[in-house]
Amino acid sequence: MEVLIRPDADDAARTVAGIVHQALAEGVRTLGLATGSAPVGVYRELARRHRHEGLGFAGVDAFLLDEYVGLPPAHPQSLAEVIRRELAEHVDLDPARLHLPSGTAPDLFAEARRFERCLTEAGPLGLQILGIGVNGHIGFNEPGSSLASRTRLKTLTDDTRRDNARFFGSIDDVPRHVITQGLATIGEASHLVLIATGPHKARAVAAAVEGPLTATCPASVLQLHPHATVVVDELAASRL
Ligand code: GLP
């Protein structure tokens, strides 16, 4: 695992955007996307590079990690809408090539299987961007998730719902269930790039990078991956 420590969050976002830019320039055509506050900085920088440096997303297929159950796709906090607002609307990514799990499908179990199949058919993603939860989750794989898990329904922990209440106004409005790619699904991407910034992520980053490989810290699964890059600012690196 490669760990890159940058002075601040903007620098960390620029570093990850640079890794994505290089991958696309080298011909990567499948990209995994995450939501969360740190990846948003990466998307702003990718949009800037699209405007000013000719970075193009034509012909790229992008796949989102997860979605809340019960939020219609146009809900401002649905992860589909977040990724459209933060990235897709600002670059030349073909909307038909933005692949999303639906949180409002009539049969959510079948929807999870459909999305997993969609990923399998695309082949290993060239690059997967990841954030990390304060509790060490990646995607919405909460602590205790099987390291062998595939795309499925999960129940959010109260901690995660409390954390994400800032986007919803009240914890009561945060959905209890999600569809998320599994840890094994995520691990199939050729290159995993995790970004974490801020002091509140320091404990999770230390557990993921230097702790034991354990379902208690789902992000520790990166230790098994042949090509994982962790990009952190100094605050998130403070316990390394
Ligand atoms: C969210 C997402 C994760 C993300 C994490 C961190 O709930 N499902 O993919 O990595 O939580 O988000 P933030 O950076 O906003 O704390």
Q: What is the pLDDT of residue 25?
A: 97
Q: What is the pLDDT of residue 73?
A: 87
Q: Ligand 1: which residue has its CA nearest to atom 13?
A: 36
Amino acid at 169: G
> What CATH number corresponds to the domain at position 58?
3.40.50.1360
Ordered mean pLDDT values, 10 residues apiece, the chain (240 residues): 98 98 98 96 98 97 98 94 97 98 98 98 97 98 98 97 94 97 98 98 98 98 98 98
The closest-lying atom of ligand 1 relative to the alpha carbon of residue 163 is 16
**Hey, what's the torsion of the CAs at 216, 217, 221, 224, to 10 degrees?**
-90
Give the number of domains in the chain. 1
Strands 177-180 and 66-68 turn out to be antiparallel
**8 A C-beta contact, residue 149 and residue 218:** no
The parent domain of residue 47 ranges over: 2-178+198-233
Structural domain contains residue 99: yes
Cα–Cα distance between 111 and 114 in angstroms, integer? 5
The closest-lying atom of ligand 1 relative to the alpha carbon of residue 197 is 14
Structural domain contains residue 24: yes
CB distance 66 to ligand 1 below 6 Å: yes
**8 A C-beta contact, residue 180 and residue 133:** no
- pTM, to two decimals: 0.97
Cα–Cα distance between 169 and 180 in angstroms, integer? 23
Structural domain contains residue 101: yes
CB distance 218 to ligand 1 below 6 Å: no
Structural domain contains residue 184: no
Structural domain contains residue 191: no
Structural domain contains residue 190: no
Structural domain contains residue 192: no
Placement of tokens 């320091």 in the chain: 202
Token code pair at residue 194: 């995790």
**8 A C-beta contact, residue 72 and residue 78:** yes
Structural domain contains residue 127: yes
pLDDT tens for each residue of 57-96: 999 999 999 999 999 989 999 999 999 999 999 999 999 9
